């Protein structure tokens, strides 16, 4: 097969040229039903041996010098948005363990992307691919982050964006979408209904669809975080990476990035990746060991990972089982407490979905599940400013004092 890459079906293993298929495997797609995770999600495969032969020595450094274009399904870096996406900070903290600094915590802060979320990684690549293929309108369904991300990235590229969101999406995220100039369509229903409706709209109007998992390139955009982590950790691997999970695309992207590095010969093992879900929306971790997928109705304040039908469940499950990943779920109370602790201890204000990963790390820490001297990464996927309502239960904003020093002194004494 010629070209730069090809697609491989996660379920049946069928192989397709990029010009033969855009979204799902045509054969497996026929088995899909609305109440279950889709069959036929495609994995993007590169010609790894050719890449290894091309660069030979100093393989990773050469890949990085070319901004990993050899491992991206686009032809030109100039197709990418002018906004700075990725290369987000990795902060190192020591966590006390019986008086020592034996356990290391690294926070990957993707709230510093242009629209303040991890979703910009996928939107940037989708936008670049659309630009190279002269597709001027991109549609997506979103609980907020993917929609505001696509809207912002498209605004920077002069592309049109159409965003379908549940009517209950947080106001801050809706505000972003509108201010970026996208066409927002509120849907009287949940994310899953908006998702299905966006696919119907893309077929009817001929728009390019960004939906997670449905479009295989979303995974390719999100995988870039793995390359950055390997670089930022001085060409070494962390022991564990805690990832918030909703539809299964982010964790699949993290796995795919490290799998690329495995297959091209940069690394020789996979780090342990921990899937962390909200207890009220844990359809991925609850079904990993099940032969038949059984969905539960989602109910969590972490709206970005609140999903009834995880669209990339089958690929995520395959990755987790193949590479012996770990999984857990945390309650909404644990998520909000983790968000408050994270903010007060580190200065990073994360939205509930991102704080979910930190809550998972804390559960491991407090239960003695982390090895001494281990290096643990928590993936923080979005800013807390995107959903202020969720943290109101832990907010205690005092009443105003009179503008005199006596009132200030009285206030300080009362607050001790």
Question: Phi-psi bin for 99: left (phi > 0), alpha (psi -120 to 50), beta?
Answer: left
Measure the CA–CA gap between 384 and 349, rounded to whole angstroms. 5
How much is the pTM? 0.94
Measure the CA–CA gap between 270 and 53, rounded to whole angstroms: 22
Q: Hey, is 79 helix, strand or coil?
A: helix
Distances in Å between the Cα of 179 and the Cα atoms of 83, 149, 151, 198 are: 16, 12, 9, 21
Pair 215, 146: CB distance under 8 Å: no
Say what the pLDDT of residue 310 is.
Answer: 94
Count the neighbouring beta carbons within 10 Å of the beta carbon of residue 252. Answer: 31
The SS3 assignment for 239 reads coil
Tell me which residue of 244, 21, 242 sits closest to 143, measured CA to CA: 244
Q: What is the pLDDT of residue 1?
A: 61
Calculate helix-pair angle for 48-55, 249-264, nearest 10 degrees: 50
Radius of gyration of the chain (CA): 22
Domains and CATH numbers, the chain: 90-115+218-394 (3.40.50.1100)
pLDDT (tens, 9 = 90+) of the chain, 416 residues, equals: 668 999 999 999 999 999 999 999 999 999 998 788 999 999 999 999 999 999 988 999 999 999 999 999 999 999 999 999 999 999 999 876 656 658 999 999 999 999 999 999 999 999 999 999 999 999 999 887 899 999 999 999 999 999 999 888 778 778 889 999 999 999 998 888 898 999 999 999 999 999 999 999 999 999 999 999 999 999 999 999 999 999 999 999 999 999 999 999 999 999 999 999 999 999 999 999 998 999 889 999 998 898 899 999 999 999 999 999 999 999 999 999 999 999 999 999 999 999 999 999 999 999 999 999 999 999 999 998 877 777 777 677 888 999 999 999 999 988 77
pLDDT score recorded for residue 378: 98
CA distance 347 to 334: 19
| pLDDT attached to residue 171 | 81
CA 352, 354, 357, 361 torsion: positive or negative? negative
Give the closest residue to 152 by CA, choosing from 168, 136, 163: 163
State how far the Cα of 118 lies from the Cα of 305, in Å rounded to an integer: 13
Q: How far apart are CA 136 and CA 121, in angstroms?
A: 19
As a whole number of angstroms, the distance between CA 312 and CA 275 comes to 13
């Amino acid at each position: 097969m010629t070209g730069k890459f090809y697609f491989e079906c996660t379920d049946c293993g069928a192989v397709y040229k990029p010009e033969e298929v855009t979204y799902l495997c045509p054969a497996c797609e026929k088995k899909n039903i609305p109440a279950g995770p889709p069959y036929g999600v495609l994995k993007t495969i590169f010609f790894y041996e050719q890449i290894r032969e091309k660069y030979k020595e100093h393989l990773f450094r050469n890949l990085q010098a070319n901004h990993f274009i050899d491992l991206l399904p686009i032809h030109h870096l100039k197709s990418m948005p002018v906004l700075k996406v990725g290369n987000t900070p990795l902060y190192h903290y020591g966590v006390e363990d019986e008086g020592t600094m034996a356990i290391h915590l690294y926070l990957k802060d993707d709230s510093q992307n242009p629209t303040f979320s991890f979703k910009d990684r996928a939107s940037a690549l989708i936008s670049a691919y659309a630009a190279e293929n002269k597709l001027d309108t991109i549609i997506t369904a979103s609980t907020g982050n993917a929609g505001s991300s696509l809207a912002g990235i498209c605004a920077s590229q002069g592309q049109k964006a159409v965003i379908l969101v549940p009517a209950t999406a947080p106001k801050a995220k809706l505000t972003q979408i509108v201010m970026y100039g996208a066409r927002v369509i509120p849907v009287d229903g949940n994310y899953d209904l908006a998702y299905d409706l966006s696919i119907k709209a893309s077929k009817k109007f001929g728009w390019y669809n960004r939906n997670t998992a449905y479009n295989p390139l979303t995974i390719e955009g999100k995988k870039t975080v793995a390359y950055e982590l390997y670089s930022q950790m001085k060409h070494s691997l962390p022991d564990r990476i805690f990832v918030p999970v909703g539809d299964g695309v982010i964790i699949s992207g993290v796995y795919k990035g490290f799998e690329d590095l495995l297959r091209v010969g940069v690394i020789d093992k996979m780090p342990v990746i921990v899937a962390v879900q909200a207890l009220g929306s844990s359809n991925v971790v609850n079904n990993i060991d099940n032969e038949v997928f059984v969905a539960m109705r989602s109910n969590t304040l972490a709206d970005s990972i609140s999903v009834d039908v995880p669209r990339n469940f089958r690929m995520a499950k395959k990755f987790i089982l193949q590479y012996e990943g770990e999984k857990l779920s945390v309650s909404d109370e644990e998520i909000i407490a983790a968000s408050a602790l994270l903010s007060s201890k580190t200065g990073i204000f994360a939205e509930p979905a991102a704080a979910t990963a930190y809550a998972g790390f804390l559960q491991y820490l407090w239960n003695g599940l982390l090895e001494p001297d281990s290096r643990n990464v928590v993936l923080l996927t979005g800013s807390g400013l995107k959903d202020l309502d969720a943290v109101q239960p832990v907010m205690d904003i005092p009443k105003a004092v009179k503008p005199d020093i006596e009132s200030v002194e009285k206030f300080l004494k009362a607050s001790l």
